[in-house]
């Protein structure tokens, strides 16, 4: 599939990244906060936030945690001021990495990220070093369980889908422009499909990773995602089927 991030596919295959409830809530909080930061705190008016909250509730995340994550994103938490940054760099095998940051202390965050990168086969680069390798897209993931592919394809195309992928083992993946994300989200939900989605960066081209670089790269991406100030991590790596099978 053109442009689809392999990282989400890998996480689904590995399956155990969010095994601990605390880790699940942390990841949901990040997604909710970022969605509220970029599109506002009104769930009805912000489709990205609506989908993020929907996923959090499905995992029984407490309402108080959800509300706090929204307020963090909208800047309504008293006494705390968060700033947004984007950091770029390279991982093992020359893979490009983009990180969306939200922090109340840049002087703490930058050394942390630099340390994680340097200790795990990567390096933090200058602004603009890899962002030209990515473009912003709306991406939806729909479980294949009980879903008619022809019906989903027809509906998504009518709603303005730019790409439709059925190659993944367990899910259909749909890409659209950021401007069409809201209409696509509402249209798919109205048609009865259970969707997950977000607006984020997808790679324009990919870098094949193999051998020892695979484990080191995946470990680096996990460490970056686990950092409390990093909201989203994007990468342009690709694996062949043999490497994917090793992760199953």
pLDDT digits (tens, 9 = 90+) for 2-18: 334 556 666 555 544 45
| Region 122-149 average pLDDT | 93
Average model confidence (pLDDT) across the chain? 87
Q: What band does 168 get if pLDDT is binned at 50, 70 and 90?
A: low
CATH topology assigned to domain 134-203? Alpha-Beta Plaits (3.30.70)
pTM: 0.80
Q: What band does 131 get if pLDDT is binned at 50, 70 and 90?
A: very high
Tell me whether the CATH fold assigned to 6-74 matches the one assigned to 83-132+205-243. no
User: What sign for the dihedral angle of Cα 238, 241, 246, 248?
Assistant: positive
**Per-residue pLDDT reduced to its tens digit, 110-121:** 999 999 999 999
Q: From CA 183, how far away is CA 179, in angstroms rounded?
A: 8
In the predicted structure, residue 1 carries a pLDDT above the cut 70: no
Class of CATH domain 83-132+205-243: alpha beta
Architecture per CATH, 6-74: Orthogonal Bundle (1.10)
In the predicted structure, residue 152 carries a pLDDT above the cut 90: yes
Nearest to 182 by CA among 75, 35, 62, 73: 35
| Region 165-193 average pLDDT | 89
Domain regions of the chain by residue span: 6-74, 83-132+205-243, 134-203
Name the CA radius of gyration of the chain, rounded. 18
Q: From CA 102, how far away is CA 191, in angstroms rounded?
A: 35
Q: Where are the beta strands (DSSP E) in 69-195?
A: 83-90, 96-103, 123-124, 134-143, 163-165, 171-176
Output 134 or 9, whichever has higher pLDDT: 134
Strand partners, 197: 140
| Region 165-194 average pLDDT | 89
């Amino acid at each position: 599939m053109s442009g689809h991030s392999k990282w989400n596919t890998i996480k689904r295959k590995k399956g155990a990244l969010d095994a601990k409830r605390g880790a699940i809530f942390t990841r949901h909080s990040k997604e909710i906060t970022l969605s509220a930061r970029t599109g506002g705190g009104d769930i009805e008016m912000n489709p990205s936030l609506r989908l993020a909250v929907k996923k959090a509730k499905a995992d029984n995340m407490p309402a108080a945690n959800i509300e706090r994550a929204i307020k963090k994103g909208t800047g309504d938490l008293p006494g705390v001021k968060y700033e947004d940054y984007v950091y770029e760099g390279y991982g093992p095998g020359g893979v490009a990495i983009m990180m969306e940051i939200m922090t109340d202390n840049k002087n703490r965050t930058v050394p942390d990220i630099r340390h994680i990168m340097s200790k795990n086969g990567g390096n933090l680069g200058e602004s603009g070093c890899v962002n030209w390798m990515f473009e912003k897209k709306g991406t939806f993931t729909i479980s294949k369980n009980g879903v008619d592919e022809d019906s989903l394809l027809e509906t998504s195309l009518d709603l303005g889908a730019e790409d439709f992928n059925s190659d993944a083992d367990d899910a259909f993946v749909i890409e659209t422009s950021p401007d069409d994300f809201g209409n696509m989200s509402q249209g798919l939900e109205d048609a009865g499909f259970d969707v997950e989605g977000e607006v984020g960066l997808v790679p324009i081209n990919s870098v094949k990773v193999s051998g020892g670089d695979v484990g080191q790269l995946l470990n680096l991406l996990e460490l970056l995602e686990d950092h409390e100030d990093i909201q989203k991590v994007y990468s342009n790596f690709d694996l062949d089927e043999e490497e994917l099978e090793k992760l199953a």
